[in-house]
Structures are given as C-alpha cells and as structure tokens.
Homo-oligomer: A and B are copies of this chain.
Amino acid sequence: MTLSKTYVISIDDVRSAAEQLAGVAVRTPLIENIKLNEIAGGRVFVKAENLQHMGAFKFRGAYNQLSRLTEDEKKRGVLAFSSGNHAQGVARAAQLLDIHATIVMPKDAPPLKLAATHACGAEVVLYDRYKEDREKVALAVAGESGAVVVPPYDDPLVMAGQGTSALEVVEDLTAMGIKPDQTLINCGGGGLASGSFTVYYDAFPDIQGYVVEPDEFDDVKRSLESGVIQTVDFGARSICDALLTPSAGERTFPIIQDCGAKGLAVTDDQARAAVAFAAKNLKMIGEPGGVVSLAAVLEGKIDTKDKVTVCIISGGNIDPEMLADCMARF
C-alpha cells in the first residue's frame, strides 16, 4: 500500500533530512548473517543503527531538528525529555552545534545512558518515570529557560530524520538488486517507524511493514487493531527501556496505520535472547529495546521462509551487567 493522503512528513522531507545529515551521521551498515538466514529460512538484513553516533538512531532526528534552528533559538538552548537514547542524541547534536542542552531523564534510566548524556556536556534533570509526567516536567523547565523543546518522536523533523536510516537500507538493497518482502521496526512512540515506513512504502509499495513492541507496551499493536490510539497500562514494566512510551504520537500513528503496518510484540526474555544472539553471532551489541524486531524474527513471529526480511538494531546502549546476564542465560 502506498501513502495516499498528505501526511505530516513525505519522502521529500526524509530526503531533505538525509542531505542535512550527510557527512555528520554515520552511514550505518546493513548486515547479513549466515546463521540468522538459516534460522529464518530466508534472507534477513539487519540495519545496524547501534553503530550510529551515541549508539542509537536517535542522533539522526535530533541533528535534523537542531541543525535547522535559527541563531536566536540556538542561543536559547534546547530541552529534551527522554529515557536515554533521545537524550544522548540531542546532547551530542547540541554539542556538535555548540548549543546548550538540558535533558530531562527518568531517575531509573540506565547508568550508561545517564553518563553518556552528561559526557556530552548536557545539563541533566531527573524525574520519576512512574509518578511524574515527563512532558510536564520538561515544559516546566523549558518555561523557565526559554529553551526550544526537542520532542522525542511526534515532530516532523524528528520523524524525517529517523527515516534516513531506511533510506540507506533502500539504497543498499537496490544496489544489490534485492526487493524486500517485509520490514520490522522497533516501536516506542513511532518516530522511527513513521519515518521508516514513509521511505519503505515509497520505494517498495508491496512491502509489508511491522512495528514490534515489548509485550506490556503493545499499545501501537492494539491501536492498529482497534483503529484508535491506545495507551499502555500505567503498571506496565519492561527491560526494553528505549520503548517505554505511553502511546504512539498523533503525527506518527496515522502514517503507521495508513500504510497498512501490523503490530507484533515480544516478551522481555525474547528480547534478552535476541541481545545474546546479536552479541554471540552478529558480534554486535544491541540493547533490549533495540533488538525487538530481531527478536520477532528469531522467534518466528512472522513467516520468513524464502522471504527477504529487514529488521533493525536501533540501539546498543546496554549496561554491561545486563549484557552479561543476557549472554549467560541465552
């Protein structure tokens, strides 16, 4: 299915973002692995966005937005609220562009992500993920400072920036003369999914898109099934800290919905097993929330036999203890 309506972003916005990011973002590799192909019974390509600056795709959207700020906006600084990867992406983009960044992060964000955000020179404000609303906390801080808020996903420039990852996949597959049957995207708020599907469905109208979420955070899956944006249960928990978003965005969801994407969900243990698989076989480090699409392939959540499937490792910022635990158990 192709996108027929006029959406908040188009393929041209993603192409424009790619120009903005040229020579700044890492052009990450697309990995094929014999063992993974054998398990899938087909060809599987893994987009390695864990090799992006700061170990996650988030740098793309952040830099696409920050690099377009006016001089006056740059002087006022930027503010982001994030569980970790968006925080680091914004912090690094701001550092490169010489902009002051304030980042509102949950107190229980992985220490690695907190440390990396600090290391980029950002000012970090902590809040309680389960008791406080991060947008309210962030806006309160922004109100005081006059800083420009960089939303984590529901923003045209952020969505277009994230989509540049898929643009590279399309380029690589086209160069190899390969047409993918299906693509699986890790999904929190839908920034990566909406940007990526904009690209995939433009290049390959017959492709089937899937969003993959943690079991207890399967709001986008339920939203797609019901046709209305659903939210997660307030008591939901998952080790996939990159994907703990309460609901898809008002801008991201219509794109995901109208291209005909379907929803999949994986358990924390399936994510752990995929972390271990990536480390042992792909020799790459993915974080739990970064490997859910790989987990869906490994677990046979969709039919991959004799098909060409594209999935993504969207982030690799995992604490060493968690990595060791995954590798020891799976």
Which residues of A line the B interface, CB within 8 A?
26, 28-29, 31-34, 48, 50-51, 53, 55, 92, 112, 279-286, 316, 320, 323-324, 327-328
B112 pairs with A280, CB closer than 8 A: yes
Task: Known A51-B282, A284-B285; judge A34-B92 contact (CB<8 A).
Answer: yes
> Which residue of B has the minimal Cβ distance to A24?
B34
In the complex, A281→B55 CA distance in Å?
A: 7
Q: Would you give 19 A-B contacts (Cβ < 8 Å), ordered by A?
A: A26-B32, A29-B29, A34-B92, A51-B282, A55-B281, A55-B283, A279-B285, A279-B320, A279-B323, A280-B320, A283-B284, A283-B316, A284-B284, A284-B285, A320-B324, A320-B327, A323-B324, A324-B324, A324-B327
Residues on B with C-beta less than 8 A from A26 are 31-33
Taking CB atoms, residues of chain B closer than 8 Å to A279 are: 285, 320, 323
- Return the chain B residue nearest A326 by Cβ: B320
With the chains together, A141 CA to B55 CA distance in Å? 47
Q: Chain B residues with Cβ under 8 A from A323's Cβ?
A: 279, 323-324, 327
The residue in chain B whose Cβ has the minimal distance to the Cβ of A56 is B283
- Per assembly, the copies of the chain total 2
Q: Write out the residue numbers on chain B whose beta carbons fall within 8 Å of the beta carbon of A48.
A: 29
Centre residue among A31, A48, A92, A320 by max chain B CB count within 10 A: A320
Q: A32-B26, A92-B34 are in contact. Are A50 and B283 (CB under 8 A)?
A: yes
List the B side residues contacting A284 at CB < 8 Å: 51, 283-285
Are B53 and A31 in contact, with the CB atoms below 8 A?
A: no
Residue of B nearest to A282 (CB): B51
A34: B residues at CB distance < 8 A = 53, 92
| With contact pairs A320-B324, A320-B328, A324-B320 given, residues A51 and B280 touching in the complex (Cβ less than 8 Å) | no
- Complex-state Cα separation, A285 to B318, whole angstroms: 13
Q: How far is the CB of A278 from chain B (nearest CB, A)?
A: 9
Contacting residues, chain B, for A55 (C-beta < 8 A): 281, 283
* Nearest CB of B to A141, in Å: 27
Which 5 A-B pairs give the minimum distances between C-beta atoms?
A283-B316, A29-B29, A324-B324, A320-B327, A50-B283
A323 to chain B, nearest CB (A): 7
Set of chain B residues within 8 Å of A328, measured between Cβ atoms: 320
From residue A91, how far is it (CB to closest CB) to chain B in Å? 12
Cα(A286)–Cα(B279), bound, Å: 10
Tell me the nearest residue of chain B to A317, going by C-beta.
B283
Cα separation A215 to B33 with both chains bound (whole Å): 34
Q: In the docked arrangement, what's the CA distance between A232 and B286, Å? A: 38
CA distance A39 to B34 in the complex (A): 35
